[in-house]
Structures are given as structure tokens and as C-alpha cells.
Amino acid sequence: MPMNPDDGLISASAATFTILGAAGYVGAALVAMLHSAGHRVHAVTRGSLPRLLETRRNAGHVIDCIGLTADFRAHPDDTAEAHVGVTARCLAHLEFESFLFLSSTRVYARAAATHEGASLPCSPTDPAELYNLTKLAGEALCLADPRPEVRVARVSNIYGPDLPADTFLGAVFQEGRETGAVLLRQARRSCKDYVSLADVTRLLPLIARYGRHRIYNLAAGVNTSHAAIALLLRRRAGWHVAFSPGAPTVRFPPINIARITEEFGAMLSNSSGGLATLVAHGQDIQCSPSMRAEVG
């Protein structure tokens, strides 16, 4: 029987969590939510990580949110260090009850299927694949570890309040707020899966503590098109929205969420409704790294 996600986190006895990347968007939200639920939380940044590794204390349930997103192309060394180097050192030197590595559903970009066991082709000759390849290397380190409590969560494009405007949709919202008009540089048929920050912070601790599998997709399972987002921007914000002539179509495959739904009874927020609420309140939306064809 699937567990009630709320019961699993709130009513269970307090636990110790260590959040790596606690200064980032997801990490900071996790720290705040876990504190409010009565758990003991160690908030670890990249700067304080070496000290944590030196102490060798039991870190409890570790959730690794360290990673590069929009600027990965400009910082390949930092990207590899964040996704592979940090993961390797934590697995080798930390004592923990569980370790959860945050990957991305972007790894399904070239895949024929999107369930957790699908084959994931990549091309190392394509510079845009650096993000996927380093994330998959981090996954491989975790899955090669014999401890079953070492897991991977492939997280979809996250939206939520107070996001920095340094990604594709964040830039779109900034442009709209500043000028009242938006030029989308991807075709209207482009589409992605968007999952709310609230769902991500609710489900990650449950996966860390109770997950029966080694890999989970954490996504809405339904894509939202750029045409639908443009319509929301027009209706809710009153902005003039246009599509650049000849803009590329970037379509992510629908993400299979059967595993997380069956195991945790996850009732994920409606992406269109959630995005509409953010548009109405003038909030930013952040998505995970764009595919090669994305511009802006």
C-alpha cells in the first residue's frame, strides 16, 4: 500500500538530515521545511563541506543538492567537481543512514523511454551533453555503491516562488516585468515537465528515509507547452508575448512517474495551475538546464 507522504515525514520520529548545497534554491527550501517539521538539520555549503568530511560524524540522511545548472557550459571543471568529485568524496568519507544524489530528468533527452531503468544514450562529442554525462557519472558512483540506502532522484524542472532569474523561464519573467513584453526564442510547440518546489521538498526526505528502490523520477508526469505558458503570461500578467521567427522546437519526453506514485501515493500539483498562480503573483520560474536547442 502506498504511504501517505504527509504521514511519512511529519508524524514519524524526528531524524537527522544533512543538506549539501544548503545555500542553493532547493537546498535552502529543504532546510527550512525540515526545520519546520521538527527534524535536526545540518546545512552544509560548498565552503563548509571540507570540514564536514574531516569530522567523519554520522550525517544522518544526506541529500546532495550541490550542482551547476545554467552556467555548466562556462564552467566544465566546476560541473564535474560538483556532480562527480563531491559525490565520490562523500560516499568514501561520510558516515550516514542514507545518501540521496539529486540528478535530473534531463538525462532522458535522447532516451526512447523515461522509466528509471531505461537506457540513456549520450554523446561525449557534444559540449551540451556535459551536464548529462557528469550527472550520470554521479549516478553511477551511487549505484555502484553496495549500500542499498544510497539512492538517486532524477528531478524535473522546478518552479516555485522567489527563484533567481538566471535560467530560461526566469529570464522570460524578468524581461516581462521590465518591459511588459516577452520574445520567446523557442517555438510554441516546445514543452517540458514542471514540478513544484513544494512537491520536491516534500518527497525528497521520504525517498531518503523510506525508498525501496535505488532510482526515482520526481516529476509531474505531464508536459506544459510554451504555447500554454505564453497564454498564461498574456492573460494573467497582461504582457505582449511573441515567438521568434524560426525558433527551434525543444520537446522533452513525458516523464514516467509510476514508481514514485505507486510507492508514495504522490499526488503532484497540477503544473498548469501552479504556473498560473506564479504568473498571477509575478513570481519567477526556474527550470533545469536547457537542451542544446534552447536560446536565451
Rounded to whole angstroms, the Cα distance separating 202 from 32 reads: 11
| Cβ-Cβ contacts under 8 Å for 22 (sequence gap 6 or more) | 28, 30, 31, 43, 44, 45, 65
Rounded to whole angstroms, the Cα distance separating 135 from 112 reads: 19
Residue with the three cell numbers 526566469: 170
Average pLDDT rounded to a whole number, residues 31-58: 92
Read off the pLDDT band of 30 (50, 70, 90). very high
Backbone angles phi, psi at 250, to 5 degrees: -120, 110
The pLDDT, as a whole number, for residue 295 is: 27
Check: CB of residue 21 under 8 Å from CB of residue 64.
yes
- DSSP percent split of the chain into helix, strand, coil, nearest 5: 40, 20, 40
Rounded to whole angstroms, the Cα distance separating 176 from 144 reads: 46
The pLDDT, as a whole number, for residue 6 is: 42
Domain ranges for the chain: 5-157+195-218, 161-192+222-253+269-280
60, pLDDT greater than 80 = yes
Rounded to whole angstroms, the Cα distance separating 155 from 138 reads: 14
Q: Nine-digit cell at 112?
A: 526512447
CA 75 and chain centroid, separation = 19
The pLDDT, as a whole number, for residue 175 is: 87
Tell me which of 181 and 269 has the higher pLDDT. Answer: 181
Domain 5-157+195-218 has CATH 3.90.1150.10: no
Check: CB of residue 65 under 8 Å from CB of residue 27.
yes
CATH class of 161-192+222-253+269-280: alpha beta
Q: Write the pLDDT tens digit of every residue in 144-160.
A: 999 999 999 999 988 88
Q: Nine-digit cell at 188?
A: 510554441
| Cβ-Cβ contacts under 8 Å for 199 (sequence gap 6 or more) | 218, 220, 266, 268, 269
Check: CB of residue 279 under 8 Å from CB of residue 224.
no
Backbone angles phi, psi at 99, to 5 degrees: -135, 125
Q: Write the pLDDT tens digit of every residue in 243-287.
A: 999 999 999 999 999 999 999 986 666 666 777 777 666 554 444
End-to-end CA distance of the chain, in Å?
Answer: 44
